[in-house]
Structure 1
Amino acid sequence: MALIIEMTGPGGPDVLRARDTVAGDPGPDEVRIRQTAIGVNFVDIYFRSGLYSPPSLPAVLGLEGAGIVDAIGNGVTNLKPGDRIAYAGMPLGGYAEVRLIPQSRLIKLPDTVSDRVAASTLLRGLTAYMLLHEVRSVRPGEWVLVHAAAGGVGQLVTRWAKRLGANVIGTVGSEGKIAVAKAAGADEVLLHTSENWASDVRRISGNKGVHLAIDGIGGPVFMETLKTVRPFGILGSIGQPAGAVPPVRLEDLGNIAVMRPSIIAAVNNPEFYQRGSKALLAALEHGLSSPIGAQYALRDAAKAQADLEAGKTTGSVILTT
């Protein structure tokens, strides 16, 4: 028997229930993995709350994990039992001790990258790669604004942007998170709850604005963030825990581009998935750090989500089996 955490229906963390089940044998081109660490991401909360709809109910959430290959099905040629692997993206099913998953989703791990780091980094790291290499190819000396810079994605984006030679302005929601964002490498850290943070961003960036703004907050912060982007710069909207993004008239954007990049859609592209994973693992092997901010037992997935949703965590959040 293996433990899974099921979502019984949309709602609060209390809709997540623990249950023992049998994973079964892998089918053609499928692999059974025994997980050691599982990433908890804000997209999991979007599925749980009903903002996104799972394919069916009850559903096992989770889009990221790491562990060991336990068994392989017919047609699996590039993996064998005992291989260390990680994955990110659909299909759902990560909140489980043992799960079945298509072989195309699995990435072999180098010895230098631990299961815990891989499980807490792959989806966030691919998000950072997407933002800094695909949404905009960030160059040395450019200015990047990173909201929620003390969070898991925010810290990774900040660290990777600094490796590319960018200047990073981070924002956080409380005084206690300023030191975390600065430790990740942000050159300046502002409170996005303060009245003048947008004008401060423009001042810091030489009164021109940033080349790339990354908004993982949404709500009213989105409209203020538009004011921080220089002409021919881009705003990437990647989340909205503060509320829906308000409508924007195209004619009001001027020479600013706005994108709603989807990491789920990106990792479903095999070329992006392989290219981005290779770049991320290489960066991790050569010094890109990804601190784990909080760790919970798999059985405590509801608490992990509640703490993440309430902003009580910094860095990445993982479940362990």
Structure 2
Amino acid sequence: MARTVIIEAHGGPEVLKLVGRPVGDPGPGELRIRHMACGLNFIDVYQRTGLYPMTLPAALGMEAAGVVEAVGPGVTHVKPGDRVAYAAQPPGAYAEARVMPAAQVCPLPDGISFDEGAAMMLKGMTVHYLFRRTTPLKAGDTVLFHAAAGGVGLLACQWARAEGITLIATAGSDEKCRLALDHGAAHAINYRTEDFVARVKDLTGGKGVDVVMDAVGKDTFDGSLNCLKPFGMLISFGNASGKVPPLDIGVLAAKGSLKVTRQTIFTHIADHATCQQMAQELFDMVLSAKVKIRIDQRFPLAEVAEAHRALEARATTGQTILTL
């Protein structure tokens, strides 16, 4: 039996329940992993609330790090005893141990701790696809990144600095703005006290930015479009403030032949070889110290509801993990 966090109904943090579940043995293409730490992400909140509906009852959690206990037939890239980390479907990472598909589970280098591995996979590979796979970006380009003091944001600030990209950060307090600047943002805007559209136009001499990376959603979407230069791209990859309303596609023409895309990590990592390559490039960035994993909050697995409350209240910075 392994302690596992499940939900039996969609709702607030109070629906999270810690139960004992049998683990079993891996079948073809599967492995059994003993977790050492689990990551916390906004997608977990979306699934809990029903924004992303799930078949209930359901286990939650999309990323973790630990040790392989057993592998099923056909699994050759990892073996029992290996240190590994993952961000992958299906949910179920909030657990002491689990059986899961092996394809997206990645060998974890010795130079990266289990806590770092659990904190970095989903957010780090998200940053990877934002900067390397969604639209061409090169040194000298300018990016606007919303909620830049969060887990994805602080990684993005460092990634942009390492690749010579000018990143303009937004955050909800002066303290969070300083955090983004400390991690590599070229400029930071407190969206609670400043009009971020006007400030972006001022910073770019009225031209706008090449790309906006927006996981906030409803509250920032229209402003994000207004920050783009002609032919610029808005990359939407989350809905922290709520779902974006339907879009009149003609608006994109009127604002300068703009492009909009809605991305998800799980499309990018669906192919085994691509996932492993993305993870290796992420690990290389961390091992080279170009990107450092900042873990600002740790909650015991039994306090997962408190962890969700803190995340939803935007009371967290950097990464948050659940300890076992």
Relative to the length of structure 2, the TM-score reads 0.95
In the alignment, the residues of structure 2 paired with residue 320 and residue 163 of structure 1 have an alpha-carbon distance, to the nearest angstrom, of 30
1:96 equivalent in structure 2: 95
Q: Taking every aligned residue pair, what percent have the same amino acid on both sides?
A: 39
Letter in 2 for 1:13: P
2:300 equivalent in structure 1: 297
- 1:209-220 paired onto structure 2 within 5 Å: 209-220=208-219
5+ residue gaps, structure 2, are: none
**1:270 CA drift (Å):** 2.7
Tell me the alpha carbon deviations over residues 49-94 of structure 1, each in whole angstroms, 9 at most, x when there is no partner: 000122x211111110100011222333332221000111201110
Corresponding position: 1:261 with 2:263: yes
1:171/1:191 contact within 8 Å kept: yes
In the alignment, the residues of structure 1 paired with residue 273 and residue 164 of structure 2 have an alpha-carbon distance, to the nearest angstrom, of 26
1:138/1:164 contact within 8 Å kept: no
1:24 equivalent in structure 2: 24
2:235/2:263 contact within 8 Å kept: yes
1:168 equivalent in structure 2: 167
1:4/1:21 contact within 8 Å kept: yes
**1:3 CA drift (Å):** 0.7
In the alignment, the residues of structure 2 paired with residue 309 and residue 265 of structure 1 have an alpha-carbon distance, to the nearest angstrom, of 25
1:250 equivalent in structure 2: 249
1:43 equivalent in structure 2: 43
In the alignment, the residues of structure 2 paired with residue 102 and residue 239 of structure 1 have an alpha-carbon distance, to the nearest angstrom, of 25
In the alignment, the residues of structure 1 paired with residue 280 and residue 260 of structure 2 have an alpha-carbon distance, to the nearest angstrom, of 27
In the alignment, the residues of structure 1 paired with residue 125 and residue 82 of structure 2 have an alpha-carbon distance, to the nearest angstrom, of 22
In the alignment, the residues of structure 2 paired with residue 279 and residue 118 of structure 1 have an alpha-carbon distance, to the nearest angstrom, of 14
Q: Which shows bigger deviation, 233-242 or 11-20? A: 233-242
In the alignment, the residues of structure 2 paired with residue 72 and residue 197 of structure 1 have an alpha-carbon distance, to the nearest angstrom, of 50
1:223/1:246 contact within 8 Å kept: no
Letter in 2 for 1:209: G
Tell me the alpha carbon deviations over residues 105-130 of structure 1, each in whole angstroms, 9 at most, x when there is no partner: 21001111111111111111111011
2:288 equivalent in structure 1: 286
The structure 1 segments of at least 4 consecutive aligned residues displaced by more than 3 Å after TM superposition are none
Letter in 2 for 1:10: H
In the alignment, the residues of structure 2 paired with residue 80 and residue 271 of structure 1 have an alpha-carbon distance, to the nearest angstrom, of 17
2:134 equivalent in structure 1: 135
1:198/1:225 contact within 8 Å kept: yes
In the alignment, the residues of structure 2 paired with residue 114 and residue 206 of structure 1 have an alpha-carbon distance, to the nearest angstrom, of 43
SS in 1 for 2:220: helix
5+ residue gaps, structure 1, are: none
SS in 1 for 2:222: helix
- 1:107-186 paired onto structure 2 within 5 Å: 107-186=106-185
- 1:50-69 paired onto structure 2 within 5 Å: 50-54=50-54, 56-69=55-68
Which residue of 309, 314, 317 maps to 1:314?
A: 317
2:276 equivalent in structure 1: 274
**1:195 CA drift (Å):** 4.8
In the alignment, the residues of structure 2 paired with residue 21 and residue 263 of structure 1 have an alpha-carbon distance, to the nearest angstrom, of 28
Letter in 1 for 2:11: G
2:88/2:105 contact within 8 Å kept: no
SS in 1 for 2:69: strand
Letter in 1 for 2:154: Q
Relative to the length of structure 1, the TM-score reads 0.96
**1:271 CA drift (Å):** 3.9
Instruction: Classify 1:104/1:114 alpha carbon distance in 2 versus 1 (closer, same or farther; 3 Å).
Output: same
In the alignment, the residues of structure 2 paired with residue 149 and residue 66 of structure 1 have an alpha-carbon distance, to the nearest angstrom, of 25
SS in 2 for 1:289: coil
Corresponding position: 1:8 with 2:11: no
2:104/2:276 contact within 8 Å kept: no
Q: How many pairs does the alignment contain? A: 320
Tell me the alpha carbon deviations over residues 247-267 of structure 1, each in whole angstroms, 9 at most, x when there is no partner: 322221121111111112222
**1:290 CA drift (Å):** 1.7
